[in-house]
Structure 1
Amino acid sequence: MIKGCLESFKEMYDEKGEKLITDSYVLGEGSYVLVDEHGEIVEILEVDKKNSDKTGRYYEFAEMDYLSKLVSMDKPVDQKKVIHSNNFLSFFVKKENISNGKLTDDIIENYYKNLSDPRIKYKDKEKKRMYELLEEKYGKSDIDSIEKQKAWIKSNIFSILNKLKNNKSYLKVFLKANIEEYKKESEKYVVPNIYNNTQFNVKTEKSTYGLPNDNMGLNQKKPYLDNKTRKNSTPYLVSLEEVILQKKFFDYLYNNVCESKTNIYISDGYIKCLSNDENLDDKFSGYFLRVKKGKEVEIHDFDIIVGLDNKLKGLFIDTIILIDYTKFKGLLSDNYGEIKDISTLKMLISDIYFNKFLTNNYFSDPKDIKLNDFRVKENLIKSRGAFFNWFYKGDTIVIKQIFDKTSMELIKNAICNEYMIKAKEQFNLRCGILDYLIGGEKMADILNGLASSLREKINNKQTDKIESDNEYYFAVGQISSYLLSKSKSSKKVHSLINPLLNCKTDEKLKLQLQMLFKKYNYDIQKESKRFNNFSAMVLGYQTESKVDDNMLVAGYLYSSLIYESKKEGEVKDGE
C-alpha cells in the first residue's frame, strides 16, 4: 500500500524537490529568531494561532525549521531532551525550560559536544557506521562554527526572552547560512536515526535495509508485530533510499494534516489532500488514505477507490410535505430541485439531520462531540462511518442499509422536540435521498395518491373503507395531527404523538388513538363528517403488519385533509 503511494509521491518530488514539502510547511507556535554570522539578530518572527501570516521570511524559516527537526523525541541529540533541534545551525527549546532552569550550561555544552563528534553519542555500531558514511560524503562539521554558535547561545539564550512574546511556546534560533549547509547537517542526523531500530538492519553490497519509523513500532513490548514464520521476523524492510523517500512522504502528509487536510487521494503522479469540507472536482481512481495528527501522522483508514464521481445525477428534492417559508427561513428552502454534487448534499445532511455536527465529527471520540440532543448524537455515532464512506469514497453499500431507519428516527425526534419545520424538511430530504439510493416508486407519487384517495373518501356522504396498509397508516397520521391540533394550550405539544410513534402493533396504535380522542373530543363537533369518516375507516381496518412509521409520520406531517377547503372561501369542516 505505502509502496504504491510512494511511487506517485516520487514523481511529484522529482519534479518539485524539497519545495513540495516546505511550500506546504506549517510553522508551529513560537518565536523564530534569525541570527547572522556576526551574532546580530536579523529578524524575529512570532507565530501563533491568530498570526500565521505566510509572508516575508516565513518560508525561509519553514525550510530551516523542517531541516532542523528531530525524527522523533526518542532520538534527540540532547540526551536530556531539553534541546529539540538536530544540528549546530539551529537551537530549539521550550521557553518555559529557560525560565524554570531546566536548560543549563551543562546541557548546552553536551548538545554541542555531541554535534562536534556524533560518535560520542552513537554507541550503536550500525548508527555509527551510517553516520561515518555521511561524514565521508560531506566532511566533518566545522568545529569553529560550532564553538561560535555555542558561545552565542550561552551568552544570549537566557536574556533573549525579554524581546519575545511571553508564552509557553518554543524559542527557535537559526544561524543565517546557505540552505545547502542546513541540508548537509540535517542529513548527518536524519540518516543514522531514520530507521525504527538499527538492530533490525540488514546490509547488502548495494544498500542498507531496515524497518521504517513511520506508522510502525517494533520492540520487546510489541512482539505480536513480529512475523514468526520467517527467518527474519521483521514485518518488512526497505532500503535506505526508500526509507528517506518514505520519511519525506510522511512529512508532506503531516504538513497537510496540520491544516486539517486529512483525506488523501493518490493516483499516478497525483496527490490531493482535502479537508472534510472539500471534495474532488474530477473523477478519481486510486488510493485513499484517512490520516490523523498524533505524535506523527497516523493512517487510520486505507482503501482503493475505483470510479469515484462527486457529481450526482438524478437526485431531486421535492416539496412532498408543503412548508410555509414566508415566516421561517428553512435550511432546505433554497435547495429544492436537483442536487448536482456531493458537497451540497453533504452540507444539507449535516445541517438538517445532525445540527451541523457531522462534517467535523466523523472520527471524533464520542465524549468530545458536544451535542446536547442525545438522540441526534446517538444516530450520528451509529451512521457517521457510512456517511463518510459515501461522501469521500463513493461507497453507498452501508448507507443504503441504514439511511431509512436513521433518518426516520431523527424525524421522530424532531417532531417530539417541537421542531416541525425541521421535521418536514428532514422528511422531504429523506424522500429524495431514498429515491436516489434505493429507487422504486417515488414517495411524492405515493403520498399524492394516498391523499387524493382519502380526500375523496372522507368527503363522501357514506362511510367508505381503507384498502391498503399504506392508506391506513397515512390516515392514522392524519387523525393524530388533527386531534393534537385541538389542544387549547398556547403551544401545540407535538411530543404527545410519541406514544403512537413507539407502537409496534396495530392493537396498541388504536388504543393510543382512543386515548387522544378522549382527551380532545370536547372540541370536535359531532357532525364533523370528515373526522367521522376518517375515524370509522381507521377503526374498521385490521392489519397484521408491523406498524409502518414511515407512512404514519408522512400522514402526520402532510397538510391536513380534514381542514382543507373544497374551494377557496368555503368554511373548513368542523369549524
Structure 2
Amino acid sequence: MIKDLQVAYEKVINQTDGKIILDNYELKEGLYVKINPHLTLQSNQLEESNRVMVIRKKSELDATAWSLKDWFLPRDIYCSAISANKFVDTKTKKIHSTNFLSLFMKLDTFIADDPQKEKQSKKNKFLLESEWRDYIHKFYTIKLPAADQKLRAITGYEALKKWLDSEKRNNMRKCNLDFLLNNSSDLIQWIHQLKSNYKVKNYIRLFFEADEEIYEREYHIYVYPSIFLNNDFNVENKESIYGVPSYNIGLNSKKPYLRFRTKKSEVPLLVTPEEAALRKNLFSWLQAQKPFAVHQIAEGNLFGENDKKKANETIHLRLDGSGVINYYEKMPFSRGSQLDKPFFLENIIKAKEWVDKTHYEIAENRDPILNPLSLMQVTSQLFFKNYLHPSMLYDEPKIKAGIFPGEMLNSFFNSRQALYDFFFKGTDFTLRPMIDHLSQTLIEIQLLKTVNGISIGNLGQAYNLRLAWLRFFNIDGSETKVQTLTELVNGLKEKFSQKRVVELDTDQEFYFTAGQLAYYLLSQSETKKKNFGLFEGILRAKKPSMLMRQLDDLFMTYSHAISIGNVTFKNAFAALQAYPKGKQMIQNEERDYLMAGILSDNIFFQKIELQAQKAGE
C-alpha cells in the first residue's frame, strides 16, 4: 500500500520539482525572523517589515508576508526535526532546529521576561540571559559537530562529506555563531520586543540568509543518519546503508513479537535513507490532508499527476485526517459512471408505500435505475433504514432499538464489503452469491424488530427491491418466483370470492395466503398500543401445522370482528385448513412466500373496499 503511494508520490515530486511538498506543508504558529549575519543587528531591525513574519491560526497574510512565506517555507522544512526524539539538542531539547542555519526555540522557554524568575529557572525551564551565550556556543561547537559525525559514520554520500569539511561551510557556521554571541543581549531584547508587539506566544524561528540549496544540503546531513526508526537494525554494503523507516512501522523492545524469528532479517522492511526521507514526506502530505474518502480515482491523479497510461487503474482510499490510512485498495480497472444494465424496481406484489405524510397507496413502478449511487441510496432506504452510506467500510452505525437493531447491524457487517465492491468498484463477485439470503434476512429482521404493530410502511417495496436484485443478478429461479407472485397477487382475490368450495393447488399458494390472512387477522386488533414483533409467531413457525395453529389462535382472538358473510375470508381460511400440511419443515423458500403474503396489498381489505363502493352506489 505505502509502496504504491510512494512510487506515485515520487513521480509527482520529480514532475513538479518538489512543489507538491511545499504546497502541502504548513508553517507552525509563531514568529519567523530572517537574519543577514553580514549586517549589524540594527540594520536587520531597520528592515523588520521585510524580515519578520507572524503565522497565526486562520489569519490571512498580506502581500509582503506572502513573499516572506515563500522564502521561509522551504527553509523551515529543511530545518525541522524528524520528531521530538531526534532533536540535535537531545538532552534539554530547548533548541528544536537541526543545523547552524537556524535557531528554533519556544518563546515560553526562551528567556524569562521577568529577571525575578531567575531563581526559578530550573522549575520553569527558562534559559536565563546569563546562560544563553554559553548554551548557544555549546550547541554550535559541540552538538552540531557531533551530529555531523553521524553522516561520516555511514557508507556513501561522498559529496555531502566533502561539504562537511569545506571552508565555505566552516566560515558560514562561524559567521552565524559570532552574530548570535556578539549581539546576544540586543538580540534577546529585540525578540522580547517582537513578542510583545505581535502578541506571539508560540515559537521563535530565526533563519540566517543562505541559498536554498545550502539549506537542503544541511537537511540531508541531519536526515540521512537519523531517518531510520532504530539504527540497531541497519545493514551496510559497499554502496549504501539500509534501515527500518520511521513511518508506518512500530518496532521496539517492548513489542518483540513484531520481529521475524524465522527469517534472516528480523524486521519487515529495509530501505535506503533516500527512500526513508521520501516516505517521511509522503506521510507529511497525508497528515496535511483533511479527512476524506476517495472511492475511485485514477492512481496517478491522487497527487495531481496526470498519467494517461494508467487511466484505467484506480485506487480506493480513506484518510482519517491525522495521516492514518483507514482503507486502501488498488484496482486494475475503473468502475463506469453507470450500471452495466438498467435496474428495474417494479411493484410485483402490489405493495403500498407512503407517497407523502398523508397518502399511503399502491406504489408505481420506478424509472429504471442507471446510476450505482442512486441504487445504493434506494438499497439503504429500504434494506438498512438509511444507515448504508458511502463510508460503510469504516463508519460503524449505532444500534437503535426499533429502527436499526443488532441483527441488522450484523447483516451490515457481513455484507458491507460486498456492497462496497458493487457500488464503488463495479464488481458483483462478492455480492451476487449472498444477495438472496441477505435481502430475505433484512426484510425478516424489519418485520420482527422494526414494524410497530402492523404498520409495515414501505417494507413491501423492500420486498420488491429484493425481487429486483434477484432478477438483476439473474439468480436461478428468480423469474419463476416473479411470475408465480404475479399470478398469486392478481388471481387469489377472484379465486376466494367464488361461492363454492375453494382448494389451494401449491405450497406457494398456501404460504402466500397464510401471510395474507395473518396480516388481516392482526389488523383486527383494536388496542391502541401496538407492539413490535406482532408477526413473530407467524414467521417463527417451523412447520406448516404450527403455522396453522398460530392462525387458528388469531382467528379465535379476533373472530368477533369478522363478518359471518365475509365469503372471501371464509373460503381462504377453509382452504388453508384443508390443505395437506405434511411434516416437512418450513424452509427459507416457503417463508419467503409467507412474507410476500404479509407485505402485498391485502385481498381481504380489497373486498371490503369493493363492497363499500357498491353500497355507496
Deviation at 1:504, TM superposition (A): 3.2
Q: Which residue of 1 aligns with 2:345?
A: 317
Q: Which residue of 2 aligns with 1:384?
A: 416
Work out the CA distance in 2 between the residues paired with 1:567 and 1:495: 27
Q: Tell me the alpha carbon deviations over residues 196-254 of structure 1, each in whole angstroms, 9 at most, x when there is no partner.
A: 22333333443333332332234444545545555444434333333333333333344
Letter in 1 for 2:537: P
Between structure 1 and structure 2, the one with the greater Rg is 2
Say which SS state the counterpart of residue 466 (structure 1) adopts: coil
Say which SS state the counterpart of residue 283 (structure 2) adopts: helix
Work out the CA distance in 1 between the residues paired with 2:20 and 2:488: 61
Q: Tell me the alpha carbon deviations over residues 356-401 of structure 1, each in whole angstroms, 9 at most, x when there is no partner.
A: 44437645586x8475643343433333333333344444333334
Deviation at 1:533, TM superposition (A): 1.9
Q: Which residue of 2 aligns with 1:434?
A: 470
Q: Which residue of 2 aligns with 1:104?
A: 126
Deviation at 1:451, TM superposition (A): 0.5
For residues 301 and 7 of structure 1, do their structure 2 counterparts lie closer, same or farther at Cα, with a shift above 3 Å needed?
A: closer
Q: Tell me the alpha carbon deviations over residues 51-92 of structure 1, each in whole angstroms, 9 at most, x when there is no partner.
A: 598998788587666555543444334435677665664747
For residues 505 and 255 of structure 1, do their structure 2 counterparts lie closer, same or farther at Cα, with a shift above 3 Å needed?
A: farther
Q: Which residue of 2 aligns with 1:517?
A: 555
The reply on whether 1:420 has 2:462 as its aligned counterpart is no
2:370 to 320, 340, 348: 340
Preserved CA contact (<8 Å) 2:352 2:458 = no
Work out the CA distance in 1 between the residues paired with 2:281 and 2:365: 43
Preserved CA contact (<8 Å) 1:503 1:509 = yes
The reply on whether 1:244 has 2:277 as its aligned counterpart is yes
The reply on whether 1:546 has 2:573 as its aligned counterpart is no
Q: TM-score, normalised by structure 1?
A: 0.76
Work out the CA distance in 1 between the residues paired with 2:342 and 2:555: 43
- The within-5 A match list for 1:130-209 is 134=160, 136-137=162-163, 139=169, 142=173, 144-145=175-176, 148=180, 156=191, 160=195, 173=205, 175=207, 183-209=216-242
For residues 45 and 305 of structure 1, do their structure 2 counterparts lie closer, same or farther at Cα, with a shift above 3 Å needed?
A: same
The reply on whether 1:35 has 2:57 as its aligned counterpart is no
The reply on whether 1:560 has 2:602 as its aligned counterpart is yes
Work out the CA distance in 2 between the residues paired with 1:156 and 1:537: 97
Letter in 2 for 1:430: R
For residues 469 and 171 of structure 1, do their structure 2 counterparts lie closer, same or farther at Cα, with a shift above 3 Å needed?
A: farther
Q: Which residue of 1 aligns with 2:117?
A: none
Say which SS state the counterpart of residue 397 (structure 1) adopts: coil
Deviates more, 1:197-206 or 1:517-526: 197-206
1:483 to 504, 518, 521: 521
Deviates more, 1:70-79 or 1:527-536: 70-79
Letter in 2 for 1:217: G
- The within-5 A match list for 1:229-308 is 231-256=264-289, 258-261=290-293, 267=299, 269-271=300-302, 285-286=312-313, 288=315, 290=317, 292-293=319-320, 297-298=324-325, 301-302=328-329, 304-306=331-333, 308=335
Say which SS state the counterpart of residue 13 (structure 1) adopts: helix
Q: Which residue of 1 aligns with 2:9?
A: 9
- Return the structure number with greater helix share: 2
Deviation at 1:478, TM superposition (A): 1.3
Letter in 1 for 2:412: L
Deviation at 1:45, TM superposition (A): 3.9
Deviation at 1:459, TM superposition (A): 1.8
Work out the CA distance in 1 between the residues paired with 2:111 and 2:394: 36
Q: Which residue of 2 aligns with 1:507?
A: 545
Letter in 2 for 1:8: A
For residues 520 and 291 of structure 1, do their structure 2 counterparts lie closer, same or farther at Cα, with a shift above 3 Å needed?
A: same
1:535 to 555, 573, 577: 573
For residues 536 and 102 of structure 1, do their structure 2 counterparts lie closer, same or farther at Cα, with a shift above 3 Å needed?
A: farther
Letter in 2 for 1:535: F
Could you tell me which runs of 5 or more consecutive residues in structure 1 were left unpaired when the two chains were aligned.
Answer: 274-281
For residues 569 and 470 of structure 1, do their structure 2 counterparts lie closer, same or farther at Cα, with a shift above 3 Å needed?
A: closer
Work out the CA distance in 1 between the residues paired with 2:184 and 2:377: 55
Q: Tell me the alpha carbon deviations over residues 282-316 of structure 1, each in whole angstroms, 9 at most, x when there is no partner.
A: 99754646555597545655455445445312323
For residues 247 and 511 of structure 1, do their structure 2 counterparts lie closer, same or farther at Cα, with a shift above 3 Å needed?
A: same
Deviation at 1:536, TM superposition (A): 2.0
Q: Which residue of 2 aligns with 1:276?
A: none
Preserved CA contact (<8 Å) 1:195 1:213 = yes
Work out the CA distance in 1 between the residues paired with 2:365 and 2:21: 40
Q: TM-score, normalised by structure 2?
A: 0.72
Deviates more, 1:411-420 or 1:446-455: 411-420
Work out the CA distance in 1 between the residues paired with 2:124 and 2:8: 44
For residues 128 and 304 of structure 1, do their structure 2 counterparts lie closer, same or farther at Cα, with a shift above 3 Å needed?
A: same
Say which SS state the counterpart of residue 29 (structure 2) adopts: strand
Letter in 2 for 1:423: L
Say which SS state the counterpart of residue 338 (structure 1) adopts: coil
Deviates more, 1:212-221 or 1:295-304: 295-304
2:87 to 51, 69, 76: 76
Say which SS state the counterpart of residue 35 (structure 1) adopts: strand
Work out the CA distance in 1 between the residues paired with 2:85 and 2:296: 28
